[in-house]
Chains A and B, each alone.
Chain A
Amino acid sequence: MSRLTPERVALAREVMARYPDPRSALIPLVHLAQEQDGYVTEDAMQHIAELLGATPAEVYGTASFYGMFKFHPVGRYVVDVCTNISCLLAGAGELLEHAEGVLGVRAGATTADGMFTLEDVECIAACTVAPCVQVNYRYFPSQTPESFDRLVEDLRAGRLDADVPPHGVLARVRQQVAPERWAGSGGAPPPIAERSPGPALGASQEGAAAAAATDAGASASVPGAAPPAEPPPQPWQAPPKPTPPGAPPSGGPGERRRPS
């Protein structure tokens, strides 16, 4: 049970700054928490909520939607056997049964020594090297029962440590940007009150204004929001069938536009 370490908080702030709205960093931040502890703890979610200006329930409610986030301790190695159609046709059902036998647990469970969690997963995009297994999201293509046994032995002996980091470590390489190279071109999204109701919605002006008024408080509380983006360098050139240039930039229901 732990909050994010100071180094991770610094990293989290760096990630948050790459989005016009820091809330967009929610999923990357939960990944950071899972990387730290191997699973997502309640304290970490509380901490992420504080960083984002969201509620812990919003963080948990969002994170629990996504299958990769674990809310209980899992094994050092999460072994994912794909059993979707292409792997199934190549014998993944039998491979999964074999894996259950070798590890001594059913799919979804963790071995008593905490080394392995076995999962029966959906398509992992390796269909031409089926049946495919992922260990902590690293690929092990074209598996047979024999190669699977070797894989388990190698993992247990630590021979694959260079290829397979502990569970939670998704990418060992992060996008790094020197501050002077960051353009800041996106800026912050405009406060919701100023956002255009948009042409295709066809909402009445009153409705849009009412909705905007309701949402305005929420947007104003976003911490650390940068000033709105500067206008683009050149005026917008209308596409072939445009809104007349005189149309109000925001407000007004506008016309419906569909693909021709």
Chain B
Amino acid sequence: MTYTPVAPIVTARLSQYDDAHTLSRAVETGAYSALRRALEQTPEDVHETVKAAVLQGRGGAGFPAGTKWGLMPPKFPRWLVVNGDESEPGTYKDRILMERDPHQVIEGALITAYAIRASQAFIYVRGEMALAQERMAQALTDAYAEGYAGRNILGSDWSMDVTLTWGAGAYIVGDETALLESLSGRRGMPRPKPPYFPAAIGLYDQPTIVNNIETMSNIPWIVLNGGEAFAAIGAEKTHGTRMFALSGHVKKPGVYEVGSGTLTFRDLFYDERLGGGIRDDRRLKAFIPGGGSAPWFFEEHLDLALDPTVVGPAGSMLGSGAIVVMDETTDMVRAAYRLVRFFAHESCGKCTPCREGASWMQTIYERILGGQGRVEDLALLEDIGNGISPGPYPGAGPRPGDAPVPFPPRQTTICVLGPSAVAPVTSSLRRFPEEYMAYIERAAAPVPS
């Protein structure tokens, strides 16, 4: 597989113009023409187009948007919520889309609201993203003033309100049911499942569709070019383009939009047009293929395609498109600790295994890194992980060539935050036990006199 660039879909406008966020530039380059096209069709036709595109959700779970929309029972009022609470470690694509092409997000949301016959749409933007808040606010203000949103959109008899809402710093709100709690003015704690989909019982207990910012940004293109044209881009089972935020020890970190499933990790890391190689031409030690929640991959995974149907069976996930590269100089215990600390901090506290387990693991890591580690701590870490996610935990085998445990993990918690906290632990412990032992043996050694 070699890397072949494709024409960008969601970054087309923003990669060409620095002022793509303004209404004048956006309209001049075709914004809201898809909305006009959609309003000439019935909502069902628009829904069929998106279904034909097989647009897999870009928030992490990858559930096709068109199918999700079809899960709503025939009840009103019903809501559309756009999830812009992007907080997964390593991820930043939604922020770019909100800051630099907010009208594309709004247009996608309006078309979706039309297709699902929503009563109102909400765009929930992560609190820490001040510029995204400002750009979205300005874009919505302009869209309302110029008749692209609100009453009688584009002179039609169709009206739709879009409310911009602010988060306030909680990773867990990225979970769609937690997002709905937060949007109801409550603590952002995930709801017990079932119901599995807010499509049935969502915001204010009414049918609700929650879609990611990048998912929404694809909708205008799909309406203009057709579902089949979108499905034709990318690989057999994963369609369109995807944004990947490549960070860590590569020469050219950046956010890249590539054909979904059409390139390998090796292409992404080493191709001159993409990552450009490992920093200082060092050796790759490990990489995280789908954000902080994903089990780690290693050298033997470099030739896997960036395709969820390939990455899942190999033991991890593409998740939110955040790829973090670690070279041979990386301290794996410290890297795993930092991610465990993140999950311990962000646990909402609802489920005991996650609330207690993640912070116990953090304490053990602090003990090991602080020179107080014990040999039995390694088994203890595994045992706690097992309590959150009864094993075997997904991931690569202890040695290259060992059979992987396919994704996803099992869980004793309501949402997937708990099992995510186990990913860095098992990933690093299985492959680099000697690094843990080095810390522990250093601790056990007599103090030099």
Q: Which chain A residues have a beta carbon within 8 Å of chain B's beta carbons?
A: 18-21, 23-28, 30-31, 52, 54, 61-63, 65-69, 80, 83-86, 88-90, 93, 122-130, 134, 136-139, 170-178, 180-187, 189-190, 192, 195-196, 198-202, 228-229, 231-234, 236-240, 242-243, 245, 247, 249-250, 254, 256-260
A259 to B164, CA, bound (A): 30
A-B contact pairs, 26 of them (CB 8 A): A19-B163, A19-B165, A20-B204, A24-B185, A25-B185, A26-B185, A65-B348, A66-B188, A68-B168, A85-B89, A85-B292, A85-B324, A89-B248, A90-B248, A128-B92, A128-B247, A129-B253, A175-B140, A175-B164, A181-B144, A196-B73, A200-B196, A200-B200, A233-B158, A234-B117, A237-B44
CB neighbours of B86 from chain A (8 A): 125
Smallest Cβ-Cβ distance to A174: which chain B residue: B137
A184 to B119, CA, bound (A): 9
CB neighbours of B126 from chain A (8 A): 125
In the complex, B227 has a CB within 8 A of chain A: no
CB neighbours of A30 from chain B (8 A): 168
CB neighbours of A123 from chain B (8 A): 87-91, 292, 342
Q: Given the interface contacts A67-B170, A183-B151, A185-B159, does A86 sit within 8 Å of B324 by beta carbon? A: yes
In the complex, B79 has a CB within 8 A of chain A: yes
A200 to B199, CA, bound (A): 10
Q: A21 touching B130 by the CB < 8 A rule?
A: no
Q: A62 touching B120 by the CB < 8 A rule?
A: no
Q: A27 touching B89 by the CB < 8 A rule?
A: no
A223 to B345, CA, bound (A): 36
Q: A200 touching B201 by the CB < 8 A rule?
A: yes
Q: A125 touching B188 by the CB < 8 A rule?
A: no
CB neighbours of B95 from chain A (8 A): 125-126
Q: Which chain B residues have a beta carbon within 8 Å of chain A's beta carbons?
A: 42-44, 47, 63, 67-68, 70-77, 79, 86-92, 94-95, 117, 119-120, 126-131, 133-138, 140-141, 144-145, 147, 149-152, 157-161, 163-171, 182-188, 194-197, 200-201, 203-206, 245-249, 253-255, 288, 292, 322, 324, 326, 330, 334-335, 338-339, 342, 345-346, 348
A182 partner, pick from B147, B161, B164, beta carbons under 8 A? B161
Smallest Cβ-Cβ distance to A29: which chain B residue: B185
CB neighbours of B248 from chain A (8 A): 85-86, 89-90, 127
Q: Given the interface contacts A86-B324, A123-B87, A178-B144, does A65 sit within 8 Å of B151 by beta carbon? A: no
CB neighbours of A122 from chain B (8 A): 87, 89, 171, 342, 345-346
Q: B159 touching A239 by the CB < 8 A rule?
A: no
A44 to chain B, nearest CB (A): 14
Q: Given the interface contacts A65-B170, A125-B95, A175-B141, does A231 sit within 8 Å of B76 by beta carbon? A: yes
B75 to chain A, nearest CB (A): 5
A68 to chain B, nearest CB (A): 4
B75 partner, pick from A129, A196, A201, beta carbons under 8 A? A196
Q: A27 touching B90 by the CB < 8 A rule?
A: no
Q: B129 touching A137 by the CB < 8 A rule?
A: yes
CB neighbours of B246 from chain A (8 A): 128
Q: Known pairs A21-B185, A28-B166. 15 more at Cβ < 8 A?
A: A31-B168, A66-B167, A66-B170, A68-B168, A84-B338, A89-B248, A130-B247, A171-B137, A173-B134, A175-B137, A182-B144, A183-B159, A199-B73, A200-B200, A237-B44
A14 to B330, CA, bound (A): 51
A172 partner, pick from B74, B134, B197, beta carbons under 8 A? B134
Q: A89 touching B326 by the CB < 8 A rule?
A: yes
B408 to chain A, nearest CB (A): 15
CB neighbours of A202 from chain B (8 A): 194
Q: B74 touching A182 by the CB < 8 A rule?
A: no
CB neighbours of A19 from chain B (8 A): 163, 165
CB neighbours of B89 from chain A (8 A): 84-86, 122-123, 127
Q: A243 touching B74 by the CB < 8 A rule?
A: yes
A24 partner, pick from B140, B184, B348, beta carbons under 8 A? B184
Q: A195 touching B137 by the CB < 8 A rule?
A: no
Q: Given the interface contacts A127-B253, A138-B130, does A259 sit within 8 Å of B67 by beta carbon? A: yes
Q: A180 touching B151 by the CB < 8 A rule?
A: yes
Q: B92 touching A126 by the CB < 8 A rule?
A: yes
A15 to chain B, nearest CB (A): 9
Q: B204 touching A183 by the CB < 8 A rule?
A: no
Q: B160 touching A185 by the CB < 8 A rule?
A: yes
Smallest Cβ-Cβ distance to A186: which chain B residue: B120
Smallest Cβ-Cβ distance to B189: which chain A residue: A65
A249 to B140, CA, bound (A): 34
B276 to chain A, nearest CB (A): 12
Q: Given the interface contacts A67-B168, A89-B335, A201-B201, does A177 sit within 8 Å of B141 by beta carbon? A: yes
A89 to B332, CA, bound (A): 11
Q: A196 touching B205 by the CB < 8 A rule?
A: yes
CB neighbours of A228 from chain B (8 A): 77
CB neighbours of B334 from chain A (8 A): 88, 93
A173 to B55, CA, bound (A): 33
Q: B201 touching A198 by the CB < 8 A rule?
A: yes
B177 to chain A, nearest CB (A): 12
A128 to B279, CA, bound (A): 13
A127 partner, pick from B90, B134, B164, B204, beta carbons under 8 A? B90
A73 to chain B, nearest CB (A): 18
A245 to B184, CA, bound (A): 30
Most buried by A among B71, B77, B129, B345: B77
A222 to chain B, nearest CB (A): 11
CB neighbours of B131 from chain A (8 A): 138-139
CB neighbours of A130 from chain B (8 A): 247, 253
A126 to B166, CA, bound (A): 19
Q: Given the interface contacts A185-B159, A185-B161, A196-B73, does A62 sit within 8 Å of B187 by beta carbon? A: yes
CB neighbours of A234 from chain B (8 A): 117
Smallest Cβ-Cβ distance to A80: which chain B residue: B128
Q: A21 touching B184 by the CB < 8 A rule?
A: yes
A243 to B207, CA, bound (A): 14
Q: Given the interface contacts A175-B140, A198-B195, does A189 sit within 8 Å of B165 by beta carbon? A: no
